[in-house]
Structure 1
Amino acid sequence: MEKKIIVHTGAKPGTELPIESQVLNVPDVEFILRGRCDTPAKVLEAVRDADAALCGSEPYTREVFANAPKLKVVVRYGIGVDTIDLEAATEYGVMVANFPDFCIEEVANHALVLMLACAKKVVQLDRTLREKGWQAARALLSPMGTVHDQTLGLIAFGNIARAFAKRAKLLRMQVIAYDPYVDPAVFAEAGVESVGLMEVAERSDYVSCHLPLTPQTRGMIDAAFFSRMKPTAYFINTSRGAVVKEADLIAALEKKQIAGAALDVFEKEPIETTHPLCAMPNVILLPHTASYADATFQSLYYRVANAALTVVRGGVPEFVANPEVLPHRRK
């Protein structure tokens, strides 16, 4: 029996992947770690003879799909597929599996934590108390909003934003959102007002960004948006760093056009400690961890491995990011 080859293009040889290895330790599969493939050429070299690939943020380009004739599926850890050329995958009959129901509650909780940390200046007060003392910290209290009766503005209104909206409503906040692709009935059911993008900027005390990264959304949040925000407002991003023109955000913070920011994602990752944002006391920075919880990731590892196994045995994964491929998918 010829074994099906499943490769991992985001983990170095020797990396322990106990859950994936357990699921794929079956007679009809050979599971191979090809190393961290950070260029299309490296990805192609890794998957040229593979039947399935497991990936993180590695670049799966047209060149890859055109030259990997056995490849049937690319399984993406998580939700985003912005590093995968979906059009090329579809053209060559390759399914792209992802998990749009992954980490909804975790990221909504994370966004809530960041909003409250901004509102109550938790990180800034903690740092100042440790470094400069009690009185210096208390001198930073004003201006500080109430949270309740304030306005949360959401950029995009997908699953995570809707979960965040539910939490904000429990805090007696007004919630508005921009998303031209969502049916008005969805807004009405959630008790959220649908508004234009610039109205989100103008009315919100806290702006939380939940945009997917696409060619249309890349750099969408820019100087024009920040210039319309209140000087007491905070900007929160737990989506994708590249939807924001980071230089414009930095300029808005330097000019005190906005009160501060809380960022889990960045235009280029990882950021260095010399990054300008690292020197700003009114900015909370986290290393792209919004989705993380032990149990959540363990479940994801099982799902990723099982999706690949399903496909190499002739099936279709639970979620396909390019469903138009299904009639002519490789088998």
Structure 2
Amino acid sequence: MKQPYVYITKKIPKEVIGPLEKIATVKMWNGESEKVPVEFLKREVANATALFTTLDDTIDHSIIENSPQLKVISNMAVGYDNIDISTATKHSIFVCNTPDILNDTTADLAFALLMSSARRIVEGQQFIKDGYWKDWGPLLMVGRDIHHKTLGIVGMGRIGEKVAKRATGFDMEVLYHNRTKRDSVGEALNATYCSFDELLEKADFIINLLPLTDETRNKFDESAFSKMKNTAIFINVGRGMSVVEEDLIYALQNGEIASAGLDVYRHEPISNQHPLLKLDQVVLVPHIGSATIETRTKMMQLTVQNIVNVLEGKYPEAYVNKDVKL
């Protein structure tokens, strides 16, 4: 009997894919930094039983329809907007993800961006590198306090809860906006539910943690930024497509908001000529919300385990299209 064939779109450590190699033929893209070319991906997936993907792989209608043997697409991410879920479901293909594992790690990064932006950490380092530090001054590199300020969380999911928990250590008032009010979260974390507009107007720090949907696409636009305090700091660790970047740049250049810390962008990777890089009051990192050794290893292991389960005739440990049955 022919072994199942698994294709992996990124270079993954040998020890992680060991469980797959025991039950399947495994092929892996070996590009260190470049993305697997679309046409090459289509050819490989056409013969695959299982596919290991990451958030920057677009698995659309054309790929799925041309893959008659495909049983599972296991995405190494919490989000799955890079995959055509409806087409996968129509063909009884499991679409898997890696929920819960990265909640604390991503919350850590959200707070790191908040603190770096507020206290001008990146600017300060560059100030020293450029040889400008000649003396101490009362207003040298002054930033903004974090403690006792108001934090606004847009998207109170599991990561939002972890961010709110961290905010309590800084004696912050926490506001949140969500599709639905979550009384249990409000009580446990002393967080207050409010409208989107009210949050924008009152918060000193605004963190976007929204998933990407039709409703959240372009949520942070010119209108949203104009409602924020001119001292507000905007943090995005949610989805890049939730933000109209031209409007964010305008708001920063014209003093509508004070600064920003970004982990995600509309089109990734951004070039080193991106307009955001010309703004000193912006902290940019390359989509590293879950990027710790411990968390990424757990994510890879779960992505592999989801595939192993399906190939062994079991349900995946984490999958999103519940209409698919064995």
TM-score range, shorter chain: over 0.9
C-alpha contact (below 8 Å) 2:181/2:193 kept by paired residues:
no
Find the partner of 1:32 among 16, 24, 27. Answer: 27
**Alignment partners' CA distance in 2, 1:30 and 1:113:** 41
Which residue of structure 1 lines up, in the alignment, with residue 16 of structure 2? 20
1:16 Cα deviation after fit: 5.6
Amino acid at match of 2:176: A
**Alignment partners' CA distance in 2, 1:24 and 1:141:** 52
**Alignment partners' CA distance in 2, 1:137 and 1:319:** 54
**Alignment partners' CA distance in 2, 1:146 and 1:58:** 39
- 189 and 47 in structure 1: CA distance in 2 versus 1, 3 angstrom threshold: same
1:66-145 to structure 2, matched below 5 A, reads 66-131=65-130, 132-135=132-135, 139-142=139-142, 144-145=143-144
Partner secondary structure for residue 323 of structure 2: helix
C-alpha contact (below 8 Å) 1:76/1:97 kept by paired residues:
yes
- 76 and 228 in structure 1: CA distance in 2 versus 1, 3 angstrom threshold: same
Gaps of 5+ in 1: none
- 263 and 140 in structure 1: CA distance in 2 versus 1, 3 angstrom threshold: farther
1:164-183 to structure 2, matched below 5 A, reads 164-183=163-182
- 285 and 105 in structure 1: CA distance in 2 versus 1, 3 angstrom threshold: same
Partner secondary structure for residue 163 of structure 1: helix
Which residue of structure 2 lines up, in the alignment, with residue 189 of structure 1? 188
1:182 Cα deviation after fit: 4.4
- 38 and 225 in structure 1: CA distance in 2 versus 1, 3 angstrom threshold: farther
Partner secondary structure for residue 65 of structure 1: helix
Find the partner of 1:47 among 41, 45, 48. Answer: 45
Amino acid at match of 2:307: A
**Alignment partners' CA distance in 2, 1:219 and 1:89:** 26
Which residue of structure 1 lines up, in the alignment, with residue 2 of structure 2? 2
Amino acid at match of 1:24: L
- 184 and 42 in structure 1: CA distance in 2 versus 1, 3 angstrom threshold: farther
1:19 Cα deviation after fit: 2.6
- 2 and 128 in structure 1: CA distance in 2 versus 1, 3 angstrom threshold: same
Amino acid at match of 2:154: I
Which residue of structure 2 lines up, in the alignment, with residue 204 of structure 1? 203
C-alpha contact (below 8 Å) 1:211/1:239 kept by paired residues:
yes
1:255-294 to structure 2, matched below 5 A, reads 255-294=254-293
Cα displacement string for residues 152-207 of structure 1 (whole angstroms, at most 9, x for unaligned residues): 00110001111000000111000001102343333233211111111111111110
1:318 Cα deviation after fit: 0.9
C-alpha contact (below 8 Å) 1:38/1:59 kept by paired residues:
no
Partner secondary structure for residue 127 of structure 1: helix
1:146 Cα deviation after fit: 2.7
TM-score normalised to the size of structure 1? 0.91
- 323 and 189 in structure 1: CA distance in 2 versus 1, 3 angstrom threshold: same
**May I ask how many residue pairs the two structures share in their alignment?**
320
- 264 and 16 in structure 1: CA distance in 2 versus 1, 3 angstrom threshold: closer
C-alpha contact (below 8 Å) 1:34/1:46 kept by paired residues:
no
Cα displacement string for residues 262-310 of structure 1 (whole angstroms, at most 9, x for unaligned residues): 1111111111111111111110011111211112112222221121111
C-alpha contact (below 8 Å) 2:309/2:317 kept by paired residues:
no
**Alignment partners' CA distance in 1, 2:136 and 2:217:** 40
Further displaced range: 63-72 or 268-277: 63-72
C-alpha contact (below 8 Å) 1:110/1:290 kept by paired residues:
yes
Further displaced range: 308-317 or 58-67: 58-67
TM-score normalised to the size of structure 2? 0.92
- 125 and 134 in structure 1: CA distance in 2 versus 1, 3 angstrom threshold: farther
1:69 Cα deviation after fit: 1.5
**Percent pairwise identity:** 28
- 38 and 250 in structure 1: CA distance in 2 versus 1, 3 angstrom threshold: farther
- 21 and 262 in structure 1: CA distance in 2 versus 1, 3 angstrom threshold: same
Further displaced range: 196-205 or 210-219: 210-219
1:58 Cα deviation after fit: 1.1
C-alpha contact (below 8 Å) 1:38/1:58 kept by paired residues:
no
Which residue of structure 1 lines up, in the alignment, with residue 242 of structure 2? 243
Amino acid at match of 1:81: Y
Gaps of 5+ in 2: none
1:17 Cα deviation after fit: 2.8
Partner secondary structure for residue 185 of structure 2: helix
RMSD: 1.8
Amino acid at match of 1:71: L
1:136 Cα deviation after fit: 8.3
